[in-house]
Structure 1
């Protein structure tokens, strides 16, 4: 059984691993000059002892490391890149360095959280837009530093996000107001995250809006796919194969919605005359393609998370749960259904 991490120091790790203090330090900090087999042995001992690099031992005379770890599941997607851009701009202006950890996929994610407590010395960790499982929460908390989240999460950390259910209701209420009664939902999940489900708020909004309008829900009008444009196109094809297709489609994201638009156009259907389509996010392509959507201020969420973190590190008062408002943006992809 692992010993209490507060009673363990680097000398204990070095002694158990059979190496010098200097070698243990280099191995734990991933520095050069250590054989890979030795590094693995030291890290294994640190894991066994639940050793955490003491923040006090790593701080400079100024009282801080000046580094923040940012964990992000995707860096090539617009949403994550824009969120990171806002966060990094605020932290850079405060002379804080950002250490970026890209956990794209289940194996990367498992390896990151397994090695996390002993591998870096940082003042804080920011988790961007993915749910943190209970075991991962425990690994993060072993670091003994400030942890915040931005862009949506399912963990008890200070966070900045939108209300997904409110955003979904804005999209659904718009379609119902136009007169649509047979409305489909294309729900999206992230296959790279373990146990990931479609954003519950966006799905809850679909059923709640139908219920409040007195419209019976029909599970044949619900398609759940992996997150992406091609997947949205495939889902739309399945919805069109029904004897009585929908007159409107509510997609969990603009990328998914634009995939649906491609299928509709290839099928010779007019938008919005034959089918209305709406998404969520206000992706840059949404304006170019005249897509009705619900706008969320992505960069602003990153900036607010950065300011929240700075306030916490400085010991200043701050709001720990910030919900950023969303806005329905009506464009040319929605209209009343045909008579």
Structure 2
């Protein structure tokens, strides 16, 4: 393995100059920096992460908290974060923050306190007051993405508005028997929980259209294709099936599409379906969706945390993130207008 001393000898400079040139810190002329970089590349020299940490006090590593990894939304957001951080020379360490209280405590009390990360990004996670205090006590920059936190810098879409746009599209088409697949009151975690906010937006859109809240149908599902399929089957096999479904994620909406197919129902002739996310398969299935641009969300989170670390210019203000209704073939006016 090539050492820094070998790079210094080959470039005709001191090891201190090599260190300054490679780290970007300290005064080094442009010509010397170029020569050192070219020599290091030619020799295949890679900066030791441990040595770099000792010299700079930085680990060049960002901790990312997320509830699951194997869902499309989270993996796509992670791809955006990784893209933004790798350009700046940072690594990522993932921490699964499940619903298990003991596992969550271990993340905050052990893993994050080892001082192996320079900052933290929390993706779509509801943190209680004690957990927020633990994060703040770390003294590290923290950015919350996908779930707004009053005490933490946050990047999020307006999930109530997202659901109102999706449901409003259905009411504008003339649908009155509209069901929602997502969370139900019995499963609410708290008022700031993303699925809860989307349910509220659904109910507000019904009220905007003069549809009684008592007539709304809700089916709980776990934001997967399989659970969306099961929830849709329950709705579509009921005595008064809906003419339209708003699913709180595209994966659940795809499950609803599969349920309609299994019951030999036409989409959108017999049933209109709209989801949320902008899933890469939504275009393939002709699914109307509210695209929230998750890859770009990840890039924005990376920019925000790099700015907190002083490694990037300040990003755009942490305002609500953009979203867009994308109308495709899964929605149309009902075949028979509701009374």
Gaps of 5+ in 2: 1-51
Q: Indicate conservation of the 8 Å contact 1:132/1:153, yes or no.
A: no
RMSD of Structure 2 on Structure 1 (CA): 2.5
Which residue, 304, 307, 313 being the options, matches 1:311?
307
- Residue of structure 2 equivalent to 1:146: 141
Matches within 5 A, 1:161-310: 161-188=156-183, 199-218=195-214, 221-310=217-306
Secondary structure at 1:214 match in 2: coil
Q: Is 1:93 aligned with 2:90?
A: no
Change (3 A) 1:267 1:184: same
SS of equivalent to 1:101: strand
Distance 1:221 1:194 in 2: 20
Q: Find the aligned partners of 2:189 and 2:89 in 1 and give their Cα distance.
A: 35
The answer as to whether partners of 1:132 and 1:155 remain within 8 angstroms in 2 is: no
Q: Distance in 2 between matches of 1:320 and 1:70?
A: 21
Secondary structure, counterpart of 1:328 in structure 2: strand
Contact persistence 2:278–2:289 (CA under 8 A): yes
**1:230 and 1:160 mapped to 2: Cα distance?**
29
Counterpart of 1:127? 122
Mapped pair 1:60 → 2:54: yes
2:282 counterpart SS class: helix
The two structures have a TM-score, normalised by structure 2, of: 0.76
8 Å contact kept, 1:187–1:252? yes
Q: Secondary structure at the match of 2:277?
A: coil
Give every structure 1 segment of 4 or more consecutive aligned residues whose post-TM-superposition deviation is greater than 4 Å: 193-198, 315-320
User: 2:5 maps to what in 1?
Assistant: none
Q: Distance in 1 between matches of 2:173 and 2:195?
A: 25
2:71 matched to 1:77? yes
TM-score by length of 1: 0.76
**Conserved? CA contact 1:128–1:152, under 8 Å:** yes
Residue 40 (structure 2) aligns with:
none
Aligned length: 280
Any conservation in 2 of the 1:130–1:153 contact (CA below 8 Å)?
no
What is the CA-CA distance between 1:66 and the residue it aligns to? 2.1
How many Å separate the matches in 1 of 2:171 and 2:113? Answer: 53
Residue 197 of structure 1: how far off its partner (Å):
5.2
How far does residue 100 in structure 1 lie from its aligned partner after superposition?
2.0
Q: How far apart are the structure 2 equivalents of 1:231 and 1:96?
A: 37
Partner SS state of residue 223, structure 1: strand
Relative to structure 2, which stretch is displaced further, 292-301 or 129-138?
129-138
C-alpha displacement of 1:154: 3.7
Distance in 2 of aligned mates of 1:100 and 1:299: 17
Runs (5+) with no aligned partner, structure 1: 1-57
